[in-house]
């Protein structure tokens, strides 16, 4: 794993570009710039690794990114790639109250790459085998057209001048033009624009300058219109900041559904609000990590398990917030009214049992063609988490009579 600190150290030691002729004078790299612009992306999530962790550890942090510098993403062909993660500039004309780049924040010294600098820096990391791609985000210096042009020029240089074949995820700036989005579609693999909140009114609480409908939703429609025929092959994604306004989890969930259905986003990411010193919201309490984790779990139930929306409703309390427990369990306690015999159940029924995922549900269907299922050990061997599933199962006519262990 290469971190931002390591990138800076490698550059300082002249160890970047061991695999070919030097294309950049390392003495000219401003290390403080590399560091500031790398650190400026730490709240941007590009990591599809979230989904893997979700299966493995439902109680741990999900959707996390490694420290600023490098993040990971899965390409459309399933490869996991490490990407150099940076801002183009940390200057921004907007006044988003949670953001350290906003005009009203006490931001660090304004830094900005030139397109040539950024292209060469990325290329050197790529050639040194430290990264396989670029995740490029930015504030808006001056206006969105100028910054979009600079970002597009950076990736154009990479693709056309330096024949860079690596994966590129580029953030589209709020208010970016249709023409710039179209140009980006021919150069980058994945694109995203952060929706941040579930509604226009919440956005107006967080930013006096960003127009929810025009700067964000309209740009997502432009992106959607440009996906296909080799353009944006990895589609578009989005990100919610959780709890910066007073929005409920249910409102985020509904907005997420709209993002999948209406905007055709491939993934929604969630970032629990973290108050940053020097921003307008520095005294607003940070949100607990578990809130972000539960939203990822609900997203997983929707996308992978194909739960109905009315089933997922059971995961929310009466105020619209998720409980700090496994949402699949909350749902199961509401919708499963009698023990289920794995020899008889449909795949859909099996998937609703805590401890049984898509792979183990499929395993049960295969297993019961060969033998009758009558004990937990048979299920454990094919990946069922029996200490969770057994309370909902009837095996050999026997069932757990109490769900007390869950409370
Ligand atoms: S538009 Fe983006 S970079 Fe600019 S202040 Fe808002 S959140 Fe920060």
pTM of structure: 0.86
In the predicted structure, residue 353 carries a pLDDT above the cut 80:
yes
Q: Whose CA is nearest to atom 6 of ligand 1?
A: 96
Q: What is the Cα–Cα distance from 107 to 93, expressed in whole angstroms?
A: 12
- Span 305-315, average pLDDT: 96
Q: Which atom of ligand 1 is nearest to the CA of 93?
A: 4
Q: Which atom of ligand 1 is nearest to the CA of 138?
A: 3
In the predicted structure, residue 205 carries a pLDDT above the cut 80:
yes
Q: Is the CB of 101 under 6 A from ligand 1?
A: yes
Q: What pLDDT score was predicted for residue 51? A: 35
Pocket test for ligand 1, best of 138, 143, 210 (most atoms within 8 A of CB): 210
Q: What pLDDT score was predicted for residue 407? A: 40
Query: What are the residue ranges spanned by the domains of the chain?
Result: 4-315, 336-406
Pocket test for ligand 1, best of 139, 141, 239 (most atoms within 8 A of CB): 139
CATH architecture of the domain 4-315 equals Alpha-Beta Barrel (3.20)
For the chain, the first-to-last Cα distance in angstroms comes to: 40
Q: How confident is the model at residue 79 (pLDDT cuts 50, 70, 90)?
A: confident
Residues of the chain with pLDDT > 70, as a percent, come to 85
Q: What is the Cα–Cα distance from 121 to 129, expressed in whole angstroms?
A: 13
Q: Whose CA is nearest to atom 2 of ligand 1?
A: 139
- Span 1-26, average pLDDT: 60
Q: What pLDDT score was predicted for residue 290? A: 96
Residue linked to tokens 């007073």: 246
- Span 383-403, average pLDDT: 84
DSSP 314: G
Alpha helices in 81-177 (DSSP H): 115-127, 144-156
Q: How confident is the model at residue 40 (pLDDT cuts 50, 70, 90)?
A: confident
Sequence-separated contacts (24+) of 363-370 with Cβ below 8 Å: 368/342, 368/343
**Residues 213-243: pLDDT tens digits?**
999 999 999 999 999 988 999 999 999 999 9
In the predicted structure, residue 147 carries a pLDDT above the cut 50:
yes
More confident residue, 69 or 388: 388
Q: Which residues does residue 172 pair with via DSSP β-bridges, in sequence order?
A: none
Q: What pLDDT score was predicted for residue 219? A: 98
**34 within 8 A of 121, measured Cβ to Cβ:** yes
Q: What is the Cα–Cα distance from 147 to 170, expressed in whole angstroms?
A: 12
Q: Is the CB of 91 under 6 A from ligand 1?
A: no
CA–centroid distance, residue 98 to ligand 1 (Å): 9
In the predicted structure, residue 141 carries a pLDDT above the cut 80:
yes
Q: Whose CA is nearest to atom 1 of ligand 1?
A: 94
Q: Whose CA is nearest to atom 5 of ligand 1?
A: 102
Q: What pLDDT score was predicted for residue 291? A: 96
Alpha helices in 86-216 (DSSP H): 115-127, 144-156, 178-185, 200-206
**Residues 185-204: pLDDT tens digits?**
999 999 999 999 999 999 99
Residues of the chain with pLDDT > 90, as a percent, come to 70
**Residues 397-406: pLDDT tens digits?**
777 655 544 4
Task: Taking each helix axis as running N to C, give the angle between helix 31-39 and helix 4-12, from 0 to 180 degrees, rounded to the nearest 10.
Answer: 170
Q: What pLDDT score was predicted for residue 13? A: 61
Q: What is the CA radius of gyration of the chain?
A: 23
In the predicted structure, residue 346 carries a pLDDT above the cut 50:
yes
CB-based contacts of 191: which residues, under 8 Å, 6+ apart?
169, 170, 171, 172, 181, 184, 185, 223, 232, 236
User: Which of 2-16, 106-120, 134-148, 257-271 shows the lowest per-residue confidence on average (mean pLDDT)?
Assistant: 2-16
Q: Which atom of ligand 1 is nearest to the CA of 100?
A: 8
């Amino acid at each position: 794993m290469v971190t931002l600190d390591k990138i800076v150290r490698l550059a300082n030691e002249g160890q970047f570009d061991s695999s070919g002729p030097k294309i950049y004078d390392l003495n000219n790299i401003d290390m403080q710039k590399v560091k500031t612009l790398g650190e400026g992306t730490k709240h941007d999530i590009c990591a599809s690794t979230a989904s893997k962790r979700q299966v493995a550890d439902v109680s741990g942090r999900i959707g996390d990114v490694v420290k600023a510098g490098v993040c990971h993403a899965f390409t459309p062909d399933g490869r996991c790639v490490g990407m150099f993660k940076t801002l183009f500039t940390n200057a921004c004309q907007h006044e988003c109250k949670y953001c350290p780049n906003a005009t009203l924040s006490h931001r660090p010294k304004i830094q900005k790459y030139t397109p040539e600098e950024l292209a060469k820096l990325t290329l050197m990391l790529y050639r040194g085998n430290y990264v396989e791609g670029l995740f490029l985000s930015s504030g808006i210096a001056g206006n969105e057209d100028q910054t979009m042009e600079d970002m597009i020029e950076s990736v154009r240089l990479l693709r056309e001048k330096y024949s860079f074949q690596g994966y590129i995820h580029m953030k589209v700036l709020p208010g970016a033009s249709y023409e710039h989005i179209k140009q980006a579609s021919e150069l980058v693999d994945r694109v995203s624009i952060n929706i941040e909140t579930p509604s226009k009114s919440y956005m107006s609480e967080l930013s006096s300058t960003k127009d929810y409908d025009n700067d964000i939703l309209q740009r997502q429609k432009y992106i959607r219109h440009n996906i296909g025929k080799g353009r944006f092959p990895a589609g578009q994604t989005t990100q919610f900041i959780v709890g910066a306004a007073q929005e409920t989890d249910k409102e985020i969930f509904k907005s997420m559904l709209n993002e999948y259905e209406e905007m055709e986003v491939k993934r929604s990411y969630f970032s629990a609000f973290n108050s940053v010193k020097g921003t307008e919201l520095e005294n607003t309490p940070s949100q607990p990590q578990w809130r972000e984790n539960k939203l990822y779990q609900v997203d997983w139930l929707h996308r992978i398990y194909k739960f109905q929306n009315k089933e997922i409703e059971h995961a929310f309390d009466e105020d619209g917030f998720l409980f700090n427990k496994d949402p699949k369990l909350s749902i199961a306690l509401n919708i499963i009214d009698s023990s289920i015999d794995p020899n008889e159940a449909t795949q859909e029924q099996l998937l609703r049992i805590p401890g049984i995922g898509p792979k183990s549900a499929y395993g049960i269907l295969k297993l019961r063609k060969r033998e009758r299922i009558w004990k937990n050990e048979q299920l454990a061997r094919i990946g069922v988490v029996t200490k969770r599933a057994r309370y909902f199962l009837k095996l050999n006519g026997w069932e757990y009579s109490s769900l007390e262990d869950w409370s």
